[in-house]
């Protein structure tokens, strides 16, 4: 069995070839899979790969995530009243890309697959429980703020 504490190349290969090459797998295995054991195992894999790759350094952005990052940057510029002047893109790690991919499911897929939200949110809880660096990363990525935005959105849309 592969250990995700192995060299960087192993984690990078796994993410590029198995996950990022097929981004629909995140939704399929976290939200759609009928087996709780499979959903839980997949969440654990994501958590451990993100944990062990936290200090791996910069990683090329997967193509499917680039559009998501561009939208985030535009929204941030609008909120700050910034002009279209180019700002330096933040350096992102493999760990960042994994967590951002899962976080992006909130806007794209979660509303259609609400019955398996426990595994979805357990991913972030489990990851945060690993240490201070993981908690800091989740804050830097805006995970709590995103959860609040989604909650507000659903309150307005559903009236709950």
In a domain, residue 1? The reply is no
In a domain, residue 36? The reply is yes
CB atoms within 10 A of CB 68: 17
pLDDT higher for 69 or 9?
A: 9
Q: Show Cβ contacts of residue 39 under 8 Å, excluding neighbours closer than 6 positions.
A: 29, 30, 31, 33, 116, 119
- Are 4 and 11 in contact by the 8 Å Cβ rule? The answer is yes
Task: Please give the tally of structural domains in the chain.
Answer: 1
In a domain, residue 124? The reply is yes
Confidence band of 14 (pLDDT split at 50, 70, 90): very high
Confidence band of 1 (pLDDT split at 50, 70, 90): very low
Would you say the C-alpha torsion 40, 43, 49, 55 has a positive or negative sign?
negative
pLDDT value of position 109: 64
In a domain, residue 2? The reply is no
Q: What average pLDDT does range 2-10 have in this prediction?
A: 74
What is the pTM (predicted TM-score) of this model? 0.80
In a domain, residue 3? The reply is no
Q: Which domain covers residue 70, as residue numbers? A: 8-80+89-158
- Are 61 and 97 in contact by the 8 Å Cβ rule? The answer is yes
In a domain, residue 30? The reply is yes
pLDDT higher for 76 or 29?
A: 29
């Amino acid at each position: 069995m592969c250990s995700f504490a192995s060299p960087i190349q192993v984690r990078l290969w796994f993410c590029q070839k198995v996950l990022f090459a097929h981004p629909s797998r995140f939704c399929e295995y976290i939200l759609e899979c009928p087996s709780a054991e499979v959903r839980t195992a997949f969440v654990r894999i994501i958590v451990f790969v993100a944990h062990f790759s936290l200090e791996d350094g910069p990683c090329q952005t997967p193509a499917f995530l680039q559009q998501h990052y561009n939208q985030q940057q535009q929204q941030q510029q609008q909120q700050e009243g910034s002009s279209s002047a180019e700002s330096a893109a933040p350096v992102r790690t493999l760990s960042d890309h994994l967590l951002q991919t899962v976080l992006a499911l909130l806007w794209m897929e979660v509303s259609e697959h609400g019955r398996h939200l426990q595994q979805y949110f357990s991913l972030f809880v489990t990851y945060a429980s690993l240490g201070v660096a993981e908690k800091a990363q989740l804050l830097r990525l805006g995970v709590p703020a995103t959860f609040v935005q989604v909650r507000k959105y659903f309150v307005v849309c559903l009236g709950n």
